[in-house]
Amino acid sequence: MIVISGTVAINPEKREEAVAAALEMSAASEAEDGCITYRFYADLEDPNLFRLFEVWERGDALAAHFETPHMAVFRKKLPDLVAGPMDVKRYDVEKVSDL
- pLDDT digit string (tens) for 34-79? 999 999 999 999 999 999 999 999 999 999 999 999 999 999 999 9
The closest of 60, 58, 61, 47 to 7, measured between CA atoms, is 47
In the prediction, which pLDDT does 93 show? 96
Average pLDDT in the 22-39 region? 98
Model confidence band, residue 96 (pLDDT cutoffs 50, 70, 90): very high
The closest of 90, 91, 89, 92 to 7, measured between CA atoms, is 89
In the prediction, which pLDDT does 92 show? 97
Average pLDDT value for the chain:
97
